Amino acid sequence: MRAAQLLLVLLAGPLAAGAAEKKAEGKAKTIDELAARFDSSRCRECHAEIYAQWEKSHHARPLMGVAGGLMLTPVVKASAFQVKEPREATLGTFPCFKCHLPQAVRHAEDSVAVELTQALFTAADKDRPDKDKAAARAKVAKLQITCVVCHNEVAITHRRVLGAPEKDVVYGRKDLASHGDRIMTRVKRSAILDEPIFCGQCHGTGPNFEFDYPIQCATLYGSYQHGYLSRGGFQSCQECHMPRAAGGSADHQFLPNFDDKASTAALLAKTVHLDVQTLGYQWLRKAGALTPMIVVNTKIRHDAGHRIPDG
Ligand code: HEC
Ligand code: HEC
Ligand code: HEC
Ligand code: HEC
Ligand code: HEC
């Protein structure tokens, strides 16, 4: 079987891309293999602006933590999921993958979790030289929520009825018979891409009870449903977080970006409101003894479609 496939590659040079895809059908064994399968660097060529926005967003570094504080380190070192040695790690060590790296759940072998744990141990090891630590961080940074993750892997939620996403399709907001990308050669409409449920898959509803040690992280989608829609809110996540400049495409920066203090402060200044009412008066406690008094009413409100901060 192997030999036959190899022969096919040799005979059909120009079809090599097709053969590489065939090979990719098993699960990825290494971080590099998993990253390559969801690699989106080729999208930059034609979607340069969107790419530049995504690259700076938190979706491009979902395992790096805010301000680079590798947040999976405490998971493997000091949690119910901790391991003594990297080789003990499995995909089950990282329930976080459900939302921080959904492609690992379906497309990675346990060996990817072992390699990731090795990198986390190295990056946290005071005695290792800086260059090893930097290489370990660079390895973790390869694991991203890429264009292909959102526009293929998580673009269909109702798989029982609609089936799994097709390899040669990029899921968008409309159907197009052809698409310039060499692998994803067609565009199909995703039923959910422009709906809040799309974001809700990862932005959480509450505790995740399906794990043998339940965890809770993002719960913002629950808050959107129960504290915003139920009070008459009608905007979608996309409308607020992926605005379109006149004639431009949907913004892929996904602000707020907590690594950029200036833009986050500017966003908060615009969207968090402090209303203050004051009343000054004099209290005549007894004849000739006027005591100055003040009443201050403050109300803080915000424009978000959910509780803030979330988590
Ligand atoms: C060779 C150029 C090229 C490459 C490479 C390319 N695209 Fe496209 N893409 C286009 C063009 C052109 C359109 C059609 C734009 C239109 O008519 O709205 C398009 C449309 C899309 C749409 C649908 C937009 C909508 O309105 O719903 C999505 C999503 C998309 N591309 C994502 C990607 C992703 C993800 C990649 C990388 C895996 C990629 N593209 C690579 C040229 C390219
Ligand atoms: C239900 C999906 C989900 C699960 C499961 C999940 N997270 Fe998250 N997590 C998110 C989302 C979405 C955000 C960002 C959105 C926000 O802040 O509201 C986030 C943000 C974070 C942040 C703050 C941002 C940062 O990068 O520093 C940390 C830390 C974090 N997660 C750690 C974890 C760890 C560790 C696990 C596994 C033990 C985990 N999460 C499991 C969805 C999840
Ligand atoms: C595949 C899972 C996934 C999907 C789908 C997804 N997100 Fe996220 N999102 C995350 C994770 C994980 C983070 C946190 C990354 C980190 O640790 O910094 C995040 C971060 C963010 C942030 C930055 C704030 C923060 O806490 O880091 C915003 C804003 C955001 N997402 C909005 C959206 C919106 C709007 C949608 C839908 C259009 C969406 N996301 C879809 C997983 C997802
Ligand atoms: C976190 C998920 C997520 C990631 C990552 C992501 N997209 Fe999108 N993308 C969306 C959503 C959601 C929409 C639809 C927005 C809307 O409905 O307004 C969209 C819309 C688009 C469109 C149509 C633009 C338009 O104006 O209608 C293109 C093209 C596109 N994305 C390309 C890309 C490319 C290229 C990348 C990687 C650089 C990428 N996307 C990464 C979620 C994502
Ligand atoms: C009505 C507009 C609006 C809607 C709808 C909305 N958001 Fe937000 N969101 C905001 C604003 C504004 C902020 C940040 C500024 C602030 O904190 O006031 C924010 C903050 C966030 C953050 C950062 C969370 C934090 O802890 O500070 C995430 C993540 C996010 N939104 C995701 C989503 C997702 C996912 C949806 C849909 C389920 C959604 N938002 C719906 C306006 C909106």
In this prediction, residue 285 carries a pLDDT of 87
Nearest bound ligand to the CA of residue 196: 5
- Asked if residue 66 has its Cβ within 6 Å of ligand 5, the reply is no
| Distance between CA atoms of residues 309 and 301, nearest Å | 12
- Asked if residue 258 has its Cβ within 6 Å of ligand 5, the reply is no
Closest residue to atom 1 of ligand 1, CA basis: 180
CB 111 within 8 A of CB 93: no
Where do the structural domains in the chain lie, given as residue ranges?
A: 27-225
In this prediction, residue 1 carries a pLDDT of 41
| Distance between CA atoms of residues 220 and 45, nearest Å | 34
Which numbered atom of ligand 2 lies nearest the CA of 65?
26
Which numbered atom of ligand 3 lies nearest the CA of 240?
35
**E strand or H helix at 280:** strand 272-286
Estimate the crossing angle of helix 2-11 against helix 16-23, to 10 degrees: 160
Query: Of 177, 62, 50, whose CA–CA distance to 116 is shortest?
Result: 62
The Cβ of residue 91 has, within 10 Å, a number of other Cβ atoms equal to: 18
Closest residue to atom 16 of ligand 5, CA basis: 268
Q: Give the residue ranges of DSSP H helices in the chain.
A: 2-11, 16-23, 31-37, 48-56, 73-77, 97-100, 102-107, 110-124, 130-141, 147-148, 159-162, 196-203, 220-227, 237-241, 261-271
CB 177 within 8 A of CB 186: yes
pLDDT in tens, 33-57: 999 999 999 999 999 999 999 999 9
pLDDT mean for each 10 residues of the chain (311 residues): 45 45 76 98 97 97 94 97 98 98 98 98 97 98 98 97 97 97 98 98 97 96 97 97 92 96 94 95 91 95 93 61
In this prediction, residue 247 carries a pLDDT of 86
- Asked if residue 267 has its Cβ within 6 Å of ligand 5, the reply is yes
Among 37, 42, 45, 46, residue to substitute to test ligand 1 (most atoms within 8 Å of Cβ) = 46
Closest residue to atom 41 of ligand 5, CA basis: 237
The CA radius of gyration of the chain, in Å to the nearest whole number, is: 25
